[in-house]
Amino acid sequence: METTTTTTIPESYNSNLLVTYKVIKGYSDAEYATDKVTSIEWDLHNGRQSQKTVGVLNGKIDAVKDIITEAYADSEDQETLRAIAEALSIELIREFEFTASIEVSGTYSYNILENDYDLDLESEVTDALFADSQNGNIEITDQEVCNVSER
């Protein structure tokens, strides 16, 4: 069973109609241009094709980036890999996820004469401790306080 699709062209459609439209060029003032509908349609088509091509090429560049990043450390020709990376604007950076444990000790003081105060040491420590990085190469994405105990 074949399926056929038909495109209905409106009676008022005129591909030779002149249209004035705004041309946006970055942050500069917009300009106005006048073109035939046909010309605008081709520009739109070519723009869509260019977007597809850019997507494909970006995918290929990402694949090359992965190959270079994996092979760089063991390569006998790092200079060539570096030149390829520079030509494709690839930063030679590897990212690693990590976990780390830090043990802290300290003293917590509170007024025992306050009748309404019920000490929840774990909450106090959790609220007081904050992990951050002073190094731009490390990003702290999560933190958890475990094993809070009195001595």
Segment 35-57, tens digit of pLDDT: 999 999 999 999 999 999 999 99
Q: Phi first, then psi: give them for residue 61, nearest 5 degrees.
A: -65, -40
Average pLDDT, the chain: 87
Task: Grade residue 122 by pLDDT with cuts at 50, 70 and 90.
Answer: confident
Is the per-residue pLDDT at 86 higher than 70?
Answer: yes
The DSSP-derived string for 27-59 is TSPPEEEEEEHHHHHHHHHHHHHHHHHHHHHHH
pTM of the model: 0.54
Residue 93 sits at φ, ψ, to 5 deg, of -130, 135
Residue 146 pLDDT: 84
Position 132 scores a pLDDT of 83
Is the distance from CB of 18 to CB of 35 less than 8 angstroms?
yes
Residue 117's pLDDT is: 67
Is pLDDT of 19 > 90?
yes
Query: Is the pLDDT confidence value at 123 over 80?
Result: yes
